[in-house]
Every structure is written in C-alpha cells, then in structure tokens.
C-alpha cells in the first residue's frame, strides 16, 4: 500500500478544556499518519495537550471563551503543529518548568513538551499573541525501514 | 472520565476510567478529597482503565500524596499503562509514588 498523502489541517477551537480529548485525538491521528510508533504517538499527544492546556491556563488566565487556532502539518516522517492564541505575548525566556526534584503540584507542562518533542518554540504572532510551534521528526533509521 | 469508589477492608479504592486532563482532573480531585477527609489509608488508585494522564492529572495525584502524608496515611497506584508509566518517568515521579503491579498487592 502506498504511503498516505501529506496532510494539512486547520481548526479553530474555543479555549475550553472540554476540547482536550478532541485535540488529543487530532494529534494522535496526525502522528499515526506521519508514521510514528505508538510510543511516539503517546508522546506527541501529551505534548499537544500540554500546549493547549498552557494556553488556556497561562495565556488566557483560565478564560474558556477565547480562541485557539491549530495548524497541523504531517508530511511523512514529521509531525508539526502550531497553536495560535490572541493573548499577550510572553518573553519565551520567562517560560520554564519547575525543577523536577522540587516535587509539588503543577509546573511540569513545559518540561513534558520539551522532553517529548524535537522543537518547542514560542513566536510572537500577527495578532500580538503567541504561536506555540512543536515539531517531532521520526528517526532516520525508522524511516529507512519502511 | 468516570471515577468510582469502593470501600476496602482497610482503606478506599478509587477506580478511574478515561482521560485525566485539565478538564477532568477536578472530578478526580473531588473524589480524592472525599477519601482524604475521612483520613482513609491506604487510598488505592486503580489506573487500569486510564489511557492518558497529563500534568493536571499528575498535579492532582501529587496533591493527594502530600495530603495523605499529613495524617500518616498511604497512597498507592496500580494498573499504569506504558504511556502513563512513561509520564511518571519523564516527570521524575516514578520513585516518589508507591506504584504496584497488581490490585492484590496494592490493597494489601
């Protein structure tokens, strides 16, 4: 069977946590289309859910009626997603996780995104908000075997 | 997400089902709070039917772990899927929680 075509998808969602299951399913399908293993698919789902949640929690301060735009591109071997918000852009150097040995609730989202994806960037977008860019590439040896 | 409680000869068991994330973790937090208010021990959390937990779910479990420690109780987890176990490893929490392989071992 031939490889599936490259897929590009755009979605506009309210900043409500009820959409996290949908966002996770979207990321998982994208990862599967790009040929990732189940283990990497789990990691991609986690990173995308953390990214979406962080926008609601930190970008919008918990407001659930704001807008989040998702752009997902999945050429074979790569998963790339961009999440746009319309909140205030925050200097990326100020975005950090808590130290892992300081065990307390919260503060792990950014760590989980950075430890599961190859690229995690925060860019100022044309709306004055932030575009969270995450990308993961399939290892070359994995791709060569297909 | 569904969360049901079961009284054990000693302690309480919470069986969680579904996705634990920012949307659903308040429900889990509420159920845990009920058992914590009774000062149950051990509190055993069955994650067999949980396919996904995010950092909000982890935060809820850390809160419970800290709360149970305040009255000298114990919190145990079992039934972690590979994805959930990997999350605990990534977060450096695998040695912080008391994670058991089986229900029998967890409720003992």
Closest CA to B47 of B73, B7, B76: B76
With a pLDDT cut of 90, the percent of chain A lying above it is 75
Q: Which residues of A touch B21 (CB under 8 A)?
A: 17, 20-21, 24, 49, 53
Contact B78, B103 (CB under 8 A): yes
Question: What is the per-residue pLDDT across B17-64, written as a single tens digit (0 to 9) for each?
Answer: 999 999 999 999 999 999 999 999 999 999 999 999 999 999 999 999
Closest CA to B13 of B57, B63, B77, B69: B77
Count contacts between A and B (CB, < 8 Å): 72
- Averaged pLDDT of chain B: 96
Compute the C-alpha angle A11/A17/A20, nearest 5°. 55
How large is the ipTM? Answer: 0.94
Q: Give this prediction's pTM.
A: 0.93
Q: Which residues of A touch B91 (CB under 8 A)?
A: 100, 108, 111-112
With a pLDDT cut of 70, the percent of chain A lying above it is 93
Q: How many residues does chain A have?
A: 146
Contact A70, A82 (CB under 8 A): yes
Q: Which residues of B touch A104 (CB under 8 A)?
A: 62, 66
Indicate if the pLDDT at residue A22 is higher than 90: yes
Chain B residue with CA closest to A22: the answer is B19
Question: What is the per-residue pLDDT across A102-123, written as a single tens digit (0 to 9) for each?
Answer: 877 888 999 999 999 999 999 9
Closest CA to B91 of B64, B54, B48, B66: B54
Distance, in Å, from the CA atom of A26 to the CA atom of A91, rounded to the nearest integer, reads 28
């Amino acid at each position: 069977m031939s490889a599936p075509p490259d897929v590009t998808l755009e979605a506009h969602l309210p900043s409500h946590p009820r959409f996290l299951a949908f966002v996770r399913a979207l990321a998982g399908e994208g990862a599967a289309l790009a040929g990732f293993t189940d283990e990497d698919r789990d990691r991609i789902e986690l990173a995308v859910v953390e990214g979406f949640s962080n926008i609601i929690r930190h970008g919008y301060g918990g407001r659930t009626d704001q807008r989040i735009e998702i752009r997902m591109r999945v050429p074979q071997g790569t998963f790339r997603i961009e999440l746009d918000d319309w909140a205030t852009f925050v200097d990326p150097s100020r975005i950090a996780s808590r130290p892992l040995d300081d065990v307390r609730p919260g503060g792990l989202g950014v760590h989980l995104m950075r430890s599961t994806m190859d690229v995690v960037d925060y860019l100022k977008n044309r709306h004055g908000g932030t575009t969270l860019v995450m990308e993961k590439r399939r290892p070359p040896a994995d791709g060569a075997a297909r | 997400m569904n969360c049901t409680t079961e009284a054990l000869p000693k302690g309480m068991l919470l069986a969680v089902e579904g996705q634990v994330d920012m949307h659903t973790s308040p429900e889990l937090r509420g159920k845990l709070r009920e058992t914590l208010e009774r000062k149950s021990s051990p509190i055993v959390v069955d994650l067999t039917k949980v396919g996904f937990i995010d950092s909000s779910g982890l935060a809820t479990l850390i809160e419970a772990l800290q709360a149970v420690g305040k009255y000298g109780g114990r919190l145990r987890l079992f039934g972690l899927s590979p994805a959930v176990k990997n999350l605990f490893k990534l977060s450096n929490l695998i040695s912080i929680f008391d994670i058991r392989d089986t229900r029998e071992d967890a409720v003992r």
